[in-house]
Each structure stands twice: as structure tokens, then as C-alpha cells.
Amino acid sequence: MNRFDYVRPHTVAEAIAAAAMPGSAYLAAGTNLLDLMKIGAARPARLVDLNYLSGLDAIEQLPDGGVRIGARVRNADLAHDAAFRRQFPAVCEALLSGASAQLRNVATVGGNLLQRTRCAYFQDTASACNRRAPGSGCDARGGENRLHAVLGWSEGCIATHPSDFCVPLVALGAVVEIEGPAGARAIPLQDFHLLPGETPERESVLTPGELVVAVRLPPEAAGFAAQSRYVKLRERTSYAFAVVSAAAGLRIENGRITEARLALGGVAAKPWRAEAAEAALAGAAPGAAAFRHAAELALAGARPSGDNAFKIELAQRIAIRALTLAAAGTPDRLPALPASPFAPIPGGLHG
């Protein structure tokens, strides 16, 4: 591990000032960053510890009916918050499908948004990776790439974003609150992560020193609580990242879908909101034909980036499964294996 400075600020302003130095990185739980530092894939010159900041660890019910989640809220605390669970069950299902209970107990909301790709070539410092070393190339293009992107990839990078949590957040129109040297701003989560293009080393819209302070869900997002699900297909049911995943939310009145939300995970360098599919579902009768058409629209621009053509059909099927489960209604109890397509029957209480 390379030598680095360590700074422990006590206010957001102090943290932003400390992170102004080039090569700085914010440290929350460190469940991703510290692993990358140990293997040499991340080499920050300064760590700015956020664990002593006040005011970033609350789940706030807003007057307009929305919810504001501080960036230091632990994943487990959010997933088990009774009020939040009633409003946003698909978000909780996604959280509970990610990592192990031990990791969820320490991992943070802000850290989840900013976790790095799990591409093996990014993590292997002997491999060429444009995200880790701009201009070095992408060994994944000719390597083991069956789990890589089928949407939004470029010749410079075919990695995927690993978050479960972000997928339903994108579907529900979440907004990221940011503070930095130039002041505060808010940006839709849908626009927060960047596709690789010609600059795969830029993974988000954050500029040097900027800090995610909260995630906000708008009041209309809670309108999908009665019919929303998250489905995640992984190579093993426990402790694995998604091969593909989908978050779906529906509002159904008089036998017709009045509004739909659909987002995909594991298919691109960012959580992928399928707005064309959502538009096609509005006014349709819920059922196999409508859901198949929506899934085809969601993957209309997909193309293999390697040995992964199977992911296109697989993502369509997972989208159909998520929409079908959402149409059936959010269960009072989550499955014993949250988000697993192999656990369709609700099991034990998760709260």
C-alpha cells in the first residue's frame, strides 16, 4: 500500500477544504475503497474521513411527502427503517439483496453510489484498464467479458456499475444532493453516473472536492409502494453482484397501467432507466404481451461487448419478471431470499 495522509474533519466545509488537494479521496465505511487500496487499484494521496461529520446520518421525512437520506446512513439501517420500508419496498429489497449482513451494517448510502466497478481487469493492476490508467487500453475487450456491459459501452470501457441500491433509486427518480468548493447543487441520480465514451476514468459528474451529502426521493415515488419489486439474477444467490437486475414500479387503475417505472442493473456503466419502455406501458393492460414489448424496448439499443450476447435476452426476461411481480402487488413480507427470482413466495419478515 502506498503512503497517504489521513485527515479527520468535523464539518462538511472542513471535509471539502481537506479534499481540495489533488489525489484526495473521501473515506466513509471503506468497504470498497480500502479493498482497492490493498490491491493497488486505488492509490489516494490523502484520505478524508467522513465518519466524524454530523448531520449526514439521518433519514428525514420531508413535508412534501418525500424522503431525504443522509450520505452516512448505513445500508442496513435504511433497509430496516419501518417508515421507509412501507414507502419504498423495492429499494429495501435491493439493499437486502446486496453483500452480506456484516457489510450492510457498515456500508453507507453515499458509498454505495460511488462504489467502483468489479471488473476483474480494473482490479488487476497488471492489466490494461482505461478507468484505472487512462489511455492504457481495455484488456476486458479481448478477455473474460461474459458479465460486461451490453448497453452504453465504448471501445474504451465495457465495465458495469455494481450497485443494487441505485437501480430502484433511478427508477423512482431519486436526486443526489452535492456540496463542494463551488457550493451546493442537486442532480437526478439518472444523470449522476457517466457512460464511458472517450473518458472512462470519469465515472460520475462529481468534480474534485465535491461530496455527496444526501439522496432524496420525491413524494411521487411513494405512489409505487403497492406495486413495486426488485429482481436480481446472480451466479450464486448469496454475496454476489448481479449478472442482470431490474426494478419495476406500476400504478394500475381500472385494469390499466397509468404509470410505470423500469430500470436495469448489471447491463451498463450506470443504472439504466428504460424510459421508452415506461412510456409504452402507460395505458396498457398489465400482462405478458405488454411486459414483453416493454422489455424489448428496454434492450433495443443493446449489443454484445464480448462473449455476453446472452445478457440481452436474460435482461429482457428479468425485466418481465420484475414487471410481473410488481403487477401482482408488493408482498406484505419480503421473500426469505430478497430479490431472488428463485424465491417468488414471500418468506420471513425482514424488519
CB atoms within 10 A of CB 23: 12
Asked whether residue 201 falls in the same domain as residue 241, the answer is: no
Domain that holds residue 107: 59-114+161-220
Between 310-328 and 288-298, two packed helices, what is the crossing angle to 10 degrees?
140
Domain end point (choices 16, 36, 54): 54
- Which regions in the chain score pLDDT beneath 50? 346-351
Domain end point (choices 220, 243, 271): 220
pLDDT value, residue 349? 36
pLDDT value, residue 337? 86
CA–CA separation, 285 vs 291, rounded Å? 9
pLDDT value, residue 167? 98
CA–CA separation, 300 vs 319, rounded Å? 13
pLDDT value, residue 347? 41
Cell of 220: 411521487
Residue 244 lies in a domain: yes
Asked whether residue 79 falls in the same domain as residue 27, the answer is: no
Q: What global pTM score does this model have?
A: 0.96
Asked whether residue 269 falls in the same domain as residue 312, the answer is: yes
Domain end point (choices 183, 202, 220): 220
